[in-house]
Structure formats: structure tokens, C-alpha cells
Chain A
Amino acid sequence: MRNVKKIVLFMLAVVFLAGIVVYSGNRNVTIALKGALVHTVTGSPLENATILIKDGKIEAIGLNVSIPPGAEVIDVTGKSIIPGLIDTHSHMGAYVPNDLNEMPQPIGPENRAIDALHMGTPDWDEAVKGGVTTIVTGPGSGERMGGQSVTIKTFGKDLDKRVLKESGELKMAINGVNLSHIPTIHSNFLKAREYLEKWEKYDSGEKKEPPPVRDLALEALAKALKGEEVVRVHIMWAHDIMSFLKLKDEFGFELQFIHAPEAWKVADEIAKRNVPVICMPIELAINVPESLLKGIVTLHKAGVKLAMHSDHPVSPEKWFRMNASIAIRYGLPKEEALKAVTINPAEIAKIDDRVGSIEKGKDADLVVLNGPWYEATTAVDMVFVDGIMAYDRQQDEEMAEEGL
């Protein structure tokens, strides 16, 4: 009898230990990255610094950080570390096979990208290799009001955990091809305002009559009027930008511009209204004119908040970092360029409580590079997403050699 007890206890112990081992294999361990040049983004760069990661978050960052025993120490001497890059405008995972634009429905703000995400595409891995850890992806810009996007990390076993925000901005598109574009959007906002007033009247009343008919489209627009959602407009020409700024003046919604290649022509008007601009992808895939490239700096000087984007697949998510590099080449200060791919997009996407900079309490999304972060010759060595190593270049290359 006593032997059986022992055996059972022993087996329990084994199971227990195994569980711990297995469990800890799945759990985030404490990791210390030591010796790199760390760009926190919110402060000055720290040379030869240590970042402590615990439970998927940044636990500490500094020059003299005490590393707890049992922590996995990774020597990153000579490397640079930047926050995981954030792309506020992509269509990654949302365009295969043909789900990008619900073209027959010109006004469809109720359509949601999360309902159409394709997680199996290899683009996600490629994005991670490029150091992009968070993207805002969603429908295309074919329609006037395209629908809502999803803010999601590029890596992670649990899809639900990867999603930071299920729905986001109200996406609109405008280009000066037809005079009726602006009045159409204008009228819809007017209708949304009336819808809002109707519902507010009903909600504050005795509710004796039946409620007003629900309209998903107007509901989505009403959120923008209440300031609960941002209006993000895909826009090309300076005069269209002016028209949209006038709409903002009238309705007071929070506005962001995507692409806006001519934004610099009306930089002061944009800055005056605190509208951020998610710039044209200036990675080399697209032949953008010199004026536009110089215009990025004009925008910055006028005080406009800038974010880069890839518009993947227009320019590959993997080379997102190059947008910042080219902006630097055209005169954007390095710190601003880094902000434009980290904290600015985080603020624009309203996820800056979680990502966008290397600060205590934020997600441990980190990119380790083997040289200055903005150089084309620099390679991404390691990428951490929520404290887990999502990519290790050395391992990746070894496996490639072995034919795996």
C-alpha cells in the first residue's frame, strides 16, 4: 500500500513538473536584452542599455537594470533596438482572394474587416521579418465609405489576443473625379446627425412610441459625430483635402488623412485643425515625384503629425521600415522618422497605451537590428511580439540552409 502511494505521488510529481515545464514553455519567461542602443522613442536613445521583459510586457528599461535570476539573458551588444513597427494602413490579410472592396455598395460603413481576415497568408511572417509588429488592416478604398478595419499584431498563437481592436475608424475615400462625391458624404453626415438627434430624443423620452428604425450605416457615422470613432479618409488632391477640412469644420469629427500625396500644398490648413496624415508609401515601389517627397518635410515643419504606411500590397509590408529611411533622406529628422513608424501611428490608431514606444508597462514588441535602424544595409536580427521571440534571423537562416 505504501508503495502504491509513493508511486502515485511520484507520478503526480512528474505530471506536476511536466506541467510546469510545458506551462513555462508556453508562458512568457523573463528575458533581458543587454547591451544595445535602445531607441525608446519617448526619450533620448540609451546606449548600452538593458530591457527587461516579463509576462509579455516591458518590465524595466535603463542603463542599470537588475536582472532577476532565472531570466534568459540575450546579449545584444552592438545592436540597435526600436519598438515594433506599427503600420496604420495596410490591407494585409484582407485582400485574398477578392475581399477588398465591396464595390457595389458605395456607402458601407457597417462592413467589418474582421469578418474577412485571411490568417493563412505568408505575408504575416514576412511582415514580422521586417519588424512590423502591429498593423491596422481592412477594406480597400474603392467605395466612398468602405467599412471598419481591425488593429492586429502580426504574430501570436491566439488570434483573439492578437487583435487589439476589433473595429476602428470609419474609412472613406474621395478623389476629384466626380463633383457629387463631396455632397454625397456631406448629405450622409447630415442624415447621421438627424439620426443621432432622433435616437437621443427617443432615449431621453418616455419611450411610449416604438424606437426609430435602426440603420447600421448611419449608426456607424453617428459614432464619428459623437467622437467615438475616427474618420479616416483616403484622399489624393489638395482641393479635395480642402473640401474635407471644411466638412470637419462643420461636423467636428476627428479626422485623419491616408495617402494625401498633395497634403504639403495645404500643410498649414491641415496643421491648424490637428489632422494627422498617414503619408503616401514612399518605399521604392512607387514612382512618387520629388515635390511629394520634399513635401513630407513641409508637413512636419508646419506641425502636422505624420505616420508612414505601406498600403500593402501596394508596397510590401516587409519593407515598411524603408519608408522612414527615405523620408530621412529627404530631410525628415531621424527621430521624427522613427516616431512616424512607431508612436505616431500608435496614437493615430489609439493603441498607444499598449504599443509604440519602449516604456515600462507597454507590450514587449521589440525589433533588434544589427546596425542603425534606418540604414538599408541593416538587417533585422530578432523580433519580439508580446515578449515572445517571433523571429530569429540566425535560426531562420540555419533552417534555410538545412532545407527546412
Chain B
Amino acid sequence: MRCAIQTLVVLIFCAFLMAPLNSLTDELQNTVALKGATVLTAEGPSIPSGIILVKDGKIAAVGANVDIPQGVQIIDCSGKEIIPGMIDEHSHIGAYSDANEFSMPLGPENRAIDGLNFEVPHWYDAMKAGVITVITGPGSGERMGGQSVTIKTWGKDLKKRILKENREAKMAVNARDLSHIPNIRMKLIKAQEYREKWEKYEQGDKKGPAPDRDLALEALVPVLKGEEKLRVHIHFANDMMTFLKLKDEFGFDLTFIHSSEAYKVADEIAKRKVPVITLPLATRIAIDEHLLSGIKKLYDAGVKVALHTDHPVVHQKCLRLNAAMAIRYGVPEDAALQMVTINPAVSSKIADRVGSIAVGKDADLVVLNGTWYEPRTRVDLVFVDGILAYYRMKDDRGLAEVE
């Protein structure tokens, strides 16, 4: 009997706590203030007892002394830490596949979003773990054309969740086949010629016939113009050197993905300001200590590093653990935070919307119950576009069994 009463009291207390937060799940724009946490904005020093004002789905204000308007709901976050919603620049979350291979032939006319499954529980689990924006798609081989989409892991309206449907050129290379590089180079040269041919035609009187269209080369033209990125799956240092030389020759905007050996040529990468999406892959794969220490080397050389999970290689929810491992292997804490927030945002050109806690950006916020990178720390609250998407006290299955 006593036990039952105690249970009831606890439940009522929890309900009391939850009541104000319930109203936050309302779709209508609400203004709310998060008060008292250590705020790590990812763009500057942390604010020890900061205030974040959220309004209309955006960050209205952030700082140590923020005026909270009358009547605004205040959520007490004392003792907590708040970081920006995390961003994974390379994932395959939601990809349909029974096997480990994702090679599905896609051309530039196909849309990645048509190839994704939004019913799988991974999206929600990712959001619960504080991963809010991902660049994902089903394809992972050597091909051209857009097969990825930049999308939030949560939101009632799927269309609104999409930030960008990407048209970047995606390549994969490994040094096993000597013909890979000459092939790529030929394609780039042909694309250049194609571009010049079309520009000549466009600028002319158009009396003669138009040049033949080539969809593959067409997809490369924006890359040559610098409007779209060239992202390449790459592991070995010698391949990276080759690609850097191609960049020198053609001048495109380049990003390396996986980049296992990038640290070996860190200075060459830094010199050309090529961002690198890389390891560690949490604790799943027993990567050599030298590779793990390489992240620090890249950081020291001035390379902009983003960490990725390559879900499902590592589950999307482990992005924070990736950052923790980077810290363990020597990367300063704030730099590691940037590797899962502002760095991928800048590299994938969405920094106007996400990547840091700054005025005008989306209110994607992760509230944690302790030091943000420690494995024992839990995510307590998640805001996506200013809406409370996850509240641990209410949602946690574990606590549902109160005996």
C-alpha cells in the first residue's frame, strides 16, 4: 500500500513537471527560454549559465544576460549542458537495403528522397541522441548525379524537414585499379570541353544546331563552376594526393569522405582548404591507434574535419560518441564539438540555418544531463525547429517500469 502511494506521488510529480513541457509540442510557434545551462554554441567560448530564447522556430537570442519577455515559458536547465543539434555529413540512414551493399544505379534525374524509408525507427533514435541534420542517401558507389538529401531527422512535415536535395558529384576511388584516375580525369576534361561548347553556343546567335546533350557531363559542369561540390569516397593517402592534384588542375570544390589516411597528407589537404569527413567510427571498428591519433594531426594542420557515422556502419545515434573518441585521442573539446556541428554545416553549405547556437539559426538544440561528450551522459531534451521533439522523462521506456 505504501509502495503504491509512493508510486502515485512520483507519477503525479512527474506529470506536474511535464505539464508545461506538454504545451511545447504544439505546432504553433511558441516562445520559450532555456535558462541556466552551460551553453556551448560551437562558435565561441561556452556560456557558463546561459539563456537561449527560442521564437518561431529560430534562435531569437543567446547569451549570459538575455532579457526574457514577460509570460514566456522558462525551462530550468541548471546543471545541464546545451549543444547545437548535431550534424552528420555522411550517412545512409533510411536507406532501403537487406544487404550491406547499397550500389543502386542512379542518374542525375533520380531523387534520393525517393529511395529512403522514413518509417524505420533509426530516425527517431538518431534524434533522441541529438543528431538533427543528416546528409543521407542510398547510393555509395562510383557514379555521378545527386543521390543525397540534406534532411532533419524529425519533423511532422517531411517536405519541411528537407534542407536541400543535393546534386553534388559523388565519386569513389581506391588505388586498386590504375584506370580509375585517368577515367576521372578524362571525364573532367570532357566536361570542361562540354562546358565551353555550350557556353559558346549560348553566347552565340544560336543559328546552328545545339550541341548534343550529355547528362553525365552536364552533371559535372556545376562542379567545374564551383556551384556544386565534388565529394569523393577515399581511403588511401596516395589517392588523396592524386585528387588534390586534380583539384589543382580543375579548381573544383572538393570534400573527402572516410579519408582514413588523410592525416598522412594533412598539410597538403590544409593548403588547399579541402574539408575532410572522417573517422573514428565510434568503438565499432578496431581502427589502428595511428589512424585515431590522425584526427588530432588533421586538426593541428588546420584542416576542417567533420566526423561521420556512415550509418549503418556505426549507428546514427553514435555521432556524439565519435566526438568523444576524438577528444580522447587529443582533439580539444570545443574543436570536437565543431566537428559534429558547424564544420559539417559549413562544408555542406547549410551554415546559414544550422550548425551553431546563433541568432537567426534554426532552434535545433540538445540538452544533456552532464558533460556533453561523456559516454554516461544522457540527452534530456531535444528541440527541432523550436519544437520539443523529445523529452526523456516522459519518453524513456526504462523509467516506465516503476516498481
* Contact between chain A and chain B defined by CB under 8 Å: no
